[in-house]
Chains A and B, each alone.
Chain A
């Protein structure tokens, strides 16, 4: 089945540690995204990537890093510089149309990160 997978579903981290969240898609989509969701709020964009080996900062990129070495994979690293990392992290992908507006983003099941 085609879709987006994220792992792990739950992740616990000690303060000061870096942690990497996995996102894989087999939809053959060019574009991938990472969003953060805090309780009672909508999603906010952390990073996005339109093609392999290219990525752009979103609205709240500080304390996060990404890589895009393969079309299928877009891992997110939450670094120790992120002051409040406890949140629900959602990965999405889309075909990646040239105009960027006719795209529909499809989401994975999310990873809930808790800092102890």
Chain B
């Protein structure tokens, strides 16, 4: 069985603070992909990143960075210098070989106050 846990239900920060969203996953497979999606109030899920299980390099994209650690089965997402437009629900998801569906975590609601 596979599972994604986002233990932080809701996080509130003030603009310009850094914030890290945690994602812990469980899978017995050696080949899998991890994803982060952003869901703004409009409802649409916006794809942010995809990372395969063989690539543990951290990735940075502007103010966003991701830390993938297989040893702790974690794929954490950090927003540097948060902005009000970052307010959204963020989902971590897992996909394994042979399964078309994504397994989603329950999401973390991030509120960035001005």
Contacts and interface: CB of A to CB of B under 8 A. Distances in A.
Q: Is the interface of A mostly helix, strand, loop or mixed?
A: loop
Interface stretch (A68-76, A77-85, A104-112): A104-112
A100 interface: yes
Interface string A28-61: 0001010000001111110010100000101100
A101 B97 contact: yes
Contacts of A59: 101
B43 A105 contact: no
A74 to B, nearest CB: 13
A59 B1 CA distance: 13
Interface of B: 4, 9, 31-33, 35, 37, 42-47, 50, 52, 91, 93, 95-107
Interface of A: 31, 33, 40-45, 48, 50, 56, 58-59, 88, 90, 92, 99-110, 112
